[in-house]
Homo-oligomer: A and B are copies of this chain.
């Protein structure tokens, strides 16, 4: 089980979100309040978009986030208006850089908290479903990376919600074929540099926690003295696996089996349910 943050809005130093808030992600790497595992010390990653480059930067390391000086250096000296951060607690696969999130393909980034249950038994069937041209780029051994490659196979860059639905549908179907009752447990964030999609879903309807931040405008009214709120635009938004900071009213739970879109203009929240490829009922 892992923890993650997706930030979108006024460019800030990564450290303002990752290190400074009370109960920050870095604190969570040592002590999680809502997680099953109380320590997320099996590696971390940050990915950020810049104005100068076509692809986001992704820095990942197998050491715990709380004692990694390079993460601290980067977080204090890099500013970005759209970034991901992830801390990992391995559910069995190797602790190696290629198993750390976020994963990247071109302009797209992906990170995940959760698991494919009995992944060991399902892995081969799922890998075979990956588009052959994409297959060679799989570098690690996690369910999370494979979910990303399945979503890419199913059209992530054209239709993110549809592709994630089809990925989830395939995992459900493959799991059931192997007698796995509840194959999928996930909160997923995916971004293309402009928009961020965040999904909350599990086969059993008891998904890992996921929160999005209250509209900045409303929060400023609640907390007129909060300096950070005055420094960022109305469109600034956070999606997090666990609430940060201590501002009351700042967090709203993403409902079960739904997804949100953080984008220029009005954000959106929709139902989510797995789909089968070729199933036209959804998209």
Contacts and interface: CB of A to CB of B under 8 A. Distances in A.
Interface of A: 13, 30-31, 38-39, 41-42, 48, 50, 52-53, 56-64, 66-67, 69-70, 73-74, 76-79, 90, 93-98, 120-121, 123-124, 127-128, 132, 135-136, 138-141
Given A67-B90, A90-B67, A135-B123, A73 B96 contact: no
Top 4 closest pairs, chain A to chain B, by CB: A57-B77, A96-B96, A124-B135, A120-B136
B50 A77 contact: yes
A76 B77 CA distance: 15
A69 B67 CA distance: 19
Nearest to A69: B97
Contact of A97 (B64, B96, B135): B96
Given A52-B79, A123-B135, A127-B127, A97 B94 contact: yes
A78 B70 CA distance: 14
A67 B42 contact: yes
A53 B202 CA distance: 42
Contacts of A38: 30-31, 38-39
B124 A95 contact: no
A136 B41 CA distance: 24
Nearest to A90: B67
